[in-house]
Amino acid sequence: MEIGDQIKARRSTLGITQSDLADRSGVSKAMICDVEAGKKNPTIRLLGQIAAGLDCSISALIDADETPRFVPERRDQQRVLVDPENGMERRLLSSALIRRGIEVIQYTYPPGADCGGFPPHHRGTYETAIVIKGQVRMEIGSESITLNEGDAATYAADVVHSAYNLGDSEAVVVYVVDSTRASHPARPAQRDPQAE
Amino acid sequence: MEIGDQIKARRSTLGITQSDLADRSGVSKAMICDVEAGKKNPTIRLLGQIAAGLDCSISALIDADETPRFVPERRDQQRVLVDPENGMERRLLSSALIRRGIEVIQYTYPPGADCGGFPPHHRGTYETAIVIKGQVRMEIGSESITLNEGDAATYAADVVHSAYNLGDSEAVVVYVVDSTRASHPARPAQRDPQAE
DNA sequence: GCATGTTGTTCGCTATAGTATATGTATCCA
DNA sequence: TGGATACATATACTATAGCGAACAACATGC
């Protein structure tokens, strides 16, 4: 979906005309028309004005994607990975949001398992870890913290980070990985400079 | 943080010079210099070239924010809301990501409680619901689905949506709300058109 | 019919984005 | 003292972003 189409789509859902948008954004009517038609290559400043007029972010206009509106993810249909070494289980809970740069993953750590560490993600990646069950020790770069059931933590994941099950029963942790602003974005984020 | 500073910061973390970036992006050296210094108002196309040269998305350059690198969120320190009417509990698990447009919230539904519905979020908002415990019936717009423990679902949350605890014990659901591309973005997303 | 809007498009014109090239200025190394 | 490298700045030029205003297409009305 092209950026002009995105503007046009948002404008029509708001039920406003090009003239209205011109007034609200302070951008000339002619410019609105040309940008929607893909005839002009707007500056970032102008795009910011248009986005403001549309009550949305510039990113929303740039990163247009067609995420399906409803995606059930039954437990028995989830993508599961089990480490044969230590029995650690990894479940992907949100495949639909991956293209938007967000992952939701559930880890189940067997009791006493040494689950190794994760290599650093790209710069700008953040994670939220939520301990659903058990007690885990997390090492994030130089930080180190013990989380009990119900605890959570959010951290920059661009360093080596790891979790260890401290308890004598299995531990369950849900991770929300936000790479929406990371280097080497997961999703195809660049729009091609259209030829003139 | 200004967009030029963001480019400069990412460039230096990559350890490349302005000339290198000019080569990698196909943008003139002089332009790189001026954009970094905030003296030019780049077009979206040029910004795309620069972003490609920096291996990141345009959004990453625009939505610069300083999210703290480590935020523990102990259960007894979490922001909690309890509905006196039906005993429903709401816990905010990730306050640090809110400014990035992502919320992680845990709901605890008492058995048999009618927990009402949620009004539609803004267009472009998506949610992932993960049933940690119990059995809930979810109504999302015209869709309707029963989720058991371990099930998850991702859906566009720009329609009325609600969850009902079907079981005879409490149900726990974790919601990941992604409004990174929504209208009326939660975070201050527009950059001010800087005066020339 | 022909006024009167309303929405979208095209037409000049001016300001400026963007280029290549040259110059200045540090710093570091020989 | 010279010569590399990395960054900043200045100049002259071309392409085009962005504007106001006129224009077309399609409705409505009387």
Task: Indicate the SS3 state at residue B52.
Answer: helix
Output phi, psi for B100, to 5 deg: -90, 0
Give residue limits of the domains in chain B.
3-62, 75-178
Mean pLDDT of A30-42: 93
Degrees, nearest 5: CA angle B100-B180-B2: 55
Task: Indicate the SS3 state at residue B183.
Answer: strand
Angstrom distance (rounded) from CA B119 to CA B116: 10
pLDDT value for B36: 92
CB A2 within 8 A of CB A38: yes
CB B115 within 8 A of CB B162: yes
Nucleic strand D near CB of residue B99 (< 7 Å): no
pLDDT-derived band at A186, boundaries 50, 70, 90? low
Nucleic strand C near CB of residue A37 (< 7 Å): yes
Nearest to B151 among A43, A73, A128 (CB): A73
Mean pLDDT of A72-91: 92
Q: Is the pLDDT of residue A196 over 60?
A: no
pLDDT value for A185: 60
Per-residue pLDDT of chain B (196 residues; tens, 9 = 90+): 688 989 998 898 888 889 989 999 999 999 999 999 999 999 999 999 999 999 998 988 887 777 899 999 999 999 999 988 888 999 999 999 998 999 999 999 998 766 777 889 988 899 999 999 999 999 999 999 999 999 999 999 999 999 999 989 999 999 999 998 887 665 443 333 333 3
Give the ranges where B54-119 is alpha helix by DSSP (H).
58-62
**What does the DSSP 8-state code read for residue A59?**
H
CB A63 within 8 A of CB A16: no
CB B101 within 8 A of CB B186: yes
Angstrom distance (rounded) from CA A18 to CA A29: 6
CA distances to A83, A149, B72 from A152, rounded to whole Å, are: 24, 9, 6
Which has the minimum average pLDDT: A8-12, A70-74, B115-119?
B115-119
Output phi, psi for B168, to 5 deg: -105, 10
Contact A151 B75 (CB under 8 A): yes
Nearest to B130 by CA among A168, A95, A64, A43: A95
Contact A57 B128 (CB under 8 A): no
Which position has the higher pLDDT, A86 or B7?
Answer: B7
CB A57 within 8 A of CB B63: yes
Mean pLDDT of A41-68: 90
Q: Is the pLDDT of residue A188 over 60?
A: no
Which has the minimum average pLDDT: A38-47, A179-188, B7-16, B78-87?
A179-188
Which contiguous run of DSSP H or E holds residue B19? Answer: helix B18-25
Q: Is the pLDDT of residue A152 over 90?
A: yes
Give the ranges where B27-100 is alpha helix by DSSP (H).
29-36, 44-53, 58-62
- Give the residue from chain B lying closest to A102, CA to CA: B178
**Which of B 25-54 have CB under 7 A of nucleic chain D?**
29-30, 33-34, 36-37, 41, 43
CB A70 within 8 A of CB A27: no
Nucleic strand C near CB of residue B31 (< 7 Å): yes
Task: Indicate the SS3 state at residue A163.
Answer: strand
pLDDT value for A63: 77
Give the mean pLDDT of chain A. 88
CB B72 within 8 A of CB B94: no
The CATH code for residues A75-178 is 2.60.120.10
pLDDT value for B1: 66
Class for domain B3-62, per CATH?
A: mainly alpha
Q: Which two tokens stand for residue B105?
A: 């919230």
- CB contacts under 8 A, B 40-79 vs A, are 41-49, 51-52, 54-60, 62-63, 65, 67, 69-75, 78
CA distances to A57, A133, A155, B78 from A28, rounded to whole Å, are: 20, 57, 43, 47
Which has the minimum average pLDDT: A23-37, A66-80, A144-158, B51-65?
B51-65
